[in-house]
Amino acid sequence: MEENTTILKEMSIGEVLDYSIEVYKKNFKKLTILALIFYVPFMMLSSFITGNILGDQLSSLKQLFSSIPYASPYASGFSEPIYDSPNYFLTIISYLMSFFMLVYSITGQLVFEAAIIRIIYCQVVRNNDEKLADAVKLGFKNLPTLIATKLLYGLIISAVYIGVFIVAMIPVVLGAAIFSPIISGGPFDGVLGVVVIIILIVALLVGVVLAIGYFAVKFLFGKYSVLIENKNVTDALSRSSVLTKGNFWHAALVAVFGYIVLYVFSNAVSTGAMAAAIIDKNLFILLYTLGQVIGAIFYPFTTTLLTVLFINLKIKKEGFDLEVKVDRLIEERQRLQNTTYGESFNV
């Protein structure tokens, strides 16, 4: 990649990934400050409460497994295991925290993501460093449209899930009805029936995942269109559909990579913390919370990647790079004219 991170050109999947890493590193300090203000505190509180709940559950499982020898009728002389009573206060707090995080995901998190999109867009396209305050202001300014766009996006994905599940159940039911008389009574009675049912269920799940994935990618860039192109809710989702048409796999593979990176950063330490529950509950809570905080700090990378991907889709679909070059030439010409007229006037 070129050192100049403002050079626009059509990029392959690998180049989009490399370019995103380069832009992310260049803006790491600014993006980390945003994360520490808007995202890390909420994730820290949420993961601490969740970690307490999971710690209690894992401790109960540990005691359950340790009690297995005592279930033997020959072990009547041994004492019964003692189970800790569940912490109902933490359970209630956990439900309240889940509701709070849901509200946060359609308010503060949208402002956070909007600020990231603005910073990256200005860096890549306009060759300037956007101030944090200005980026955050833009997020609050567009918050109502962003909320509506996210809610409509969620409704579309939910409708697709329900519709595909209902439609996919038809061949499953028909298949079970057709194969059931053939299988019953045969030499593989029972075993073959289970195999057929498993195949049908797997096919159903694959169909649902593919359908949801298709529409999730198709309308993924609605909020980017709201912020970058100043579109309203329906126009933004339509723009996303237009940009991904013919570029579905390009967009899908990059997006999947971004979410895999986010998942790894968010859950690598937290998943490993499960083993710590065997040693000490407090150690598990500490490691689980630490893992979620690390993931929160690196959360801006995924948004950075998708912002670069959105710009690249505009380049591939509409020649956006040429448009930017023309705009820069016009701005440079005007600047030179103003400089020349100013010097003539002074003479």
* DSSP single-letter state for residue 128: S
What whole-number percentage of the chain has pLDDT above 90? 39
Report yes or no on 219 lying in a domain. Answer: yes
pLDDT given at position 294: 83
Report yes or no on 78 lying in a domain. Answer: no
Report yes or no on 304 lying in a domain. Answer: yes
Q: How many domains, the chain?
A: 1
- Is the entire prediction scored with pTM above 0.85? no
Dist CA 17 CA 266 (whole Å): 19
Report yes or no on 7 lying in a domain. Answer: no
Report yes or no on 72 lying in a domain. Answer: no
Who contacts 106 (Cβ-Cβ below 8 Å, separation ≥6)? 147, 150, 151
Angle at 283 between CA 280 and CA 286, to 5 degrees: 155
* DSSP single-letter state for residue 285: H
Report yes or no on 79 lying in a domain. Answer: no
Report yes or no on 6 lying in a domain. Answer: no
**Which tens digit of pLDDT belongs to each residue from 88-146?**
676 677 778 778 888 988 999 999 999 999 999 999 998 888 899 999 999 999 999 99
**Rounded-to-10 torsion of CA 333, 334, 337, 339:** -110
User: In terms of residue numbers, what domain contains 335?
Assistant: 13-64+84-346
Report yes or no on 50 lying in a domain. Answer: yes
